[in-house]
A and B are shown apart, each in its own frame.
Chain A
Amino acid sequence: MKEIRVCAGGACIASGAFSVRDALLKELKEKGLDGQYKIVETGCMGMCSRGPFMVVDGVVYAKLNERAVKEIVDSHLVGGKVVEKYLMALPEGQKVKEAFKEHPFFSRQVKIVTRNLGKIDPKSIDDYIDRGGYKALEKVLKEMKPQDVIEEIKNSGLRGRGGAGFPTGLKWEFAAKQKSDRKFVVCNADEGDPGAFMDRAVLEGDPHSVLEGMAIAAYAIGAQQGYIYVRAEYPLAIERLTVAIDQARRRGFLGKNILGTDFSFDIQIRIGAGAFVCGEETALMASIMGERGQPRVRPPYPVEKGLWGYPTVINNVETLANIAWIINNGWREFRKYGTEKSPGTKVFALAGKINNTGLVEVPLGITLRELIYDIGGGIPGGKKLKAVQTGGPSGGVIPADKIDTPIDYESLTALGTIMGSGGIIVLDEDDCMVDVAKFFLEFTVHESCGKCTPCREGTRAMYEILDRISKGEGTMEDIDALEELAVVVKETSLCGLGQTAPNPVLTTLRYFREEYEIHVKEKRCPAKKCRDLISYVIDPKACTGCTACKIVCPTGAIEGELNKLHYIHQDLCIKCGSCMDVCRFDAVFKVSPPIKEDEKVQSS
């Protein structure tokens, strides 16, 4: 029986993957083909902007709907003729059949963590086993001593993919050396960084790889119980993990005497409740233990005193998804990818102003240029790249002239940002750096747990300064004060949240200080983004008097008769931009600094 793979990742489901699946079932039945084809609902195929996806005989069809399915069944399955219009196109416009091999978005990737995404049904343990699943666990339990496992992971050079990049093997070794009758393994699946969604994709698309990684970690350090702490915002991930844990228990990969050995290990899910700070390991442990999710001082580190005071290894989802692959293929194979200090691959989430949004797994050491232009397909609308934001609210911005830097833990730190969990937000000429910094600070102010003063008060004070600057009310002293505060908060905060919260401010100041100064001195926003520093005006040469803007304006700020030039009253305008959105003649444009009522502006 042949397989037809339908992507059932979160994004594809939201764009109609299930109605595609149902239509496919119906069509197959009608054509009498249901005995020949088996539909496999897989995890995320990666290029979420073009879903729903379906793969038949290696041919990749994208952007599907029910009608498309009917055409494909009629033409491809019955007639043997590929339906060109639903194929993916290369950047040059040429359509390709086997996009996973031919399209640069897919062909440049190296799939270790995402090895099963898009290939197996995440609800089926048999699919996972068929592709070599749980072999690594068996090998470890039957052929390796815990110390051998630790050596293997140490040699691989795998570093924590949650952000800090701490060597995983070393962490395991510390925990293994602790003398304790109880130990824990925790999977940190509290993926909260805005812009990152790789952990969700792995949990939804290949949950067993995470369970297998946890079981191997448990064997290596001598733990009996594991927890997966996952965000409540990821209901599909929770559902698939629940199914997977249940299946693994029934097959004897979890529970008592795993695979007939005397090793026992079980896993429970703990669901978060919307606190970003719980991604920090000590806060996460507090939350599992039924407390407020507030971090504590380290040391003692969790490997010494973790859950309920016992040694605990906390690894991120992506880190754990690497483990079985390394055991199966050996550390030398792993080290073939990536750099000396940052071996292996990293899954990046491409978002923002980029043509191909989605998830990509590439070797570390790749440059941002390759990631954004070769794989990501560049910036939409012919706009200019301005900067790249990495690491979410804990990271910083990298200006366009530094995009040839290879991406690894050290070089990103040298640029003032961090790898973080791998979110890449691409910013173009229309994005304002003061606005970006303000935005992230607003996030941290909201998410700061309030335990330590530098983070609680410092982030708020920084936000207030940024708010003033974005409104044209800032002073040059404000910029200096902002910088000083940022350094203090970075150096004195209790946990990673506060220590990294100033990064967006520090990097935008470092690379775009001039933009801050223009906001202060000229009361102008060069990107025309900061609302208090812009005005909407109508170009008399382009306006046709169609009245579209007048109709849509919520405050009645636009005056003008049919077929005559329209005019925006600045004292009534709330700068919502609706007029600009509806104008079909590009007659509405923004100016900065803002103008006053009755002030005339030359069209640009």
Chain B
Amino acid sequence: MVEEKVRSALEKAREKVLEEKDYVMEVVRYLHEEFDGYAPPEALELAAHLLEVPPSRLYEIATFYSLYTLKKEAKHVISVCASLPCHVAGGREIIETLRKELGIDFGQVTPDGMFKLEEVGCLGRCDTSPNMMIDGTLYRNLTPEKVVAILEAYRKGVIE
């Protein structure tokens, strides 16, 4: 199972890259696709073995970039903007509402495995601050009330 996914990631990266050296970067990226949002250590090690590079080459990439992770994420990843444009538009209250409603801090996952809360630098939507993104869907012009309603929709499965 793991080997299948690793081989598939290697295959996809091989098709895309032009140079020998940037292969590892794309491998890490495709591993995240294969494993649905994370790259487990055993997959990294197997990929390193197949690529004939030290495992540290893959680990250094998987741990440096904030979008890469070694652990399975929650069902939904909430990325809330923690930058100034959102901050001056009431972002602090949004972040607080999220913390309160979820009972977790940045980088943590709710006990039921439903949500992970993450801060992001900027979502590039400063015209509609404050913003957050859940699994790639953007929510804008947020208020604490909207946040509560949105979380509720995910909990009830109205939004998948």
| Residue positions of A touching B, CB distance < 8 A | 10-11, 14-15, 48-49, 191-197, 200, 225, 231-235, 268, 270-276, 287-293, 308, 349-353, 357-359, 389, 392, 423, 425, 427, 431, 436, 439-440, 442-443, 446-447, 449, 554, 576-578, 581
Do the beta carbons of B121 and A443 come within 8 Å of each other? Answer: yes
A194 and B29 in contact (CB under 8 A), knowing A11-B128, A232-B67, A290-B21? no
Complex interface bits, B116-156 against A, C-beta within 8 A gives 1, otherwise 0 = 00011111111111000100101010001000000000000
CB contacts under 8 Å to A, within B106-121, are 119-121
Min distance, Cβ B84 to any Cβ of chain A, angstroms: 5
Do the beta carbons of A351 and B85 come within 8 Å of each other? Answer: yes
Top 7 closest pairs, chain A to chain B, by CB: A194-B83, A273-B65, A351-B126, A290-B25, A274-B67, A194-B122, A274-B66
Name the one of A14, A272, A276, A308 contacting B140, with C-beta atoms under 8 angstroms.
Answer: A14
CA A199 to CA B141, docked complex, whole Å: 21
Q: Which of A234, A273, A443 has the most CB of B within 10 A?
A: A273
Closest to B62 in A: A273
A357 and B128 in contact (CB under 8 A), knowing A192-B121, A275-B65? yes
A-B contact pairs, 23 of them (CB 8 A): A15-B128, A15-B140, A195-B85, A195-B122, A231-B124, A233-B120, A273-B66, A273-B68, A287-B25, A288-B25, A289-B21, A290-B25, A292-B61, A293-B64, A352-B89, A352-B126, A358-B127, A425-B126, A436-B84, A439-B87, A446-B119, A446-B121, A449-B64
Chain A residues closer than 8 Å to B60, beta-carbon distance:
291-292
Do the beta carbons of B29 and A271 come within 8 Å of each other? Answer: yes
Min distance, Cβ B150 to any Cβ of chain A, angstroms: 13
Min distance, Cβ B55 to any Cβ of chain A, angstroms: 15
Name the one of A194, A423, A425 contacting B121, with C-beta atoms under 8 angstroms.
Answer: A194
Chain A residues closer than 8 Å to B66, beta-carbon distance:
273-275
Q: How many A-B residue pairs have CB under 8 A?
A: 146
Min distance, Cβ A33 to any Cβ of chain B, angstroms: 32
A268 and B18 in contact (CB under 8 A), knowing A14-B128, A195-B85, A577-B93? yes
Name the one of B68, B88, B127, B133 contacting A350, with C-beta atoms under 8 angstroms.
Answer: B127
Chain A residues closer than 8 Å to B29, beta-carbon distance:
271, 273
In the assembled complex, B160 has its CB within 8 A of some CB on chain A: no
CA A290 to CA B20, docked complex, whole Å: 10
In the assembled complex, B71 has its CB within 8 A of some CB on chain A: no
Chain A residues closer than 8 Å to B126, beta-carbon distance:
194-197, 349, 351-352, 357, 423, 425
CA A10 to CA B129, docked complex, whole Å: 14
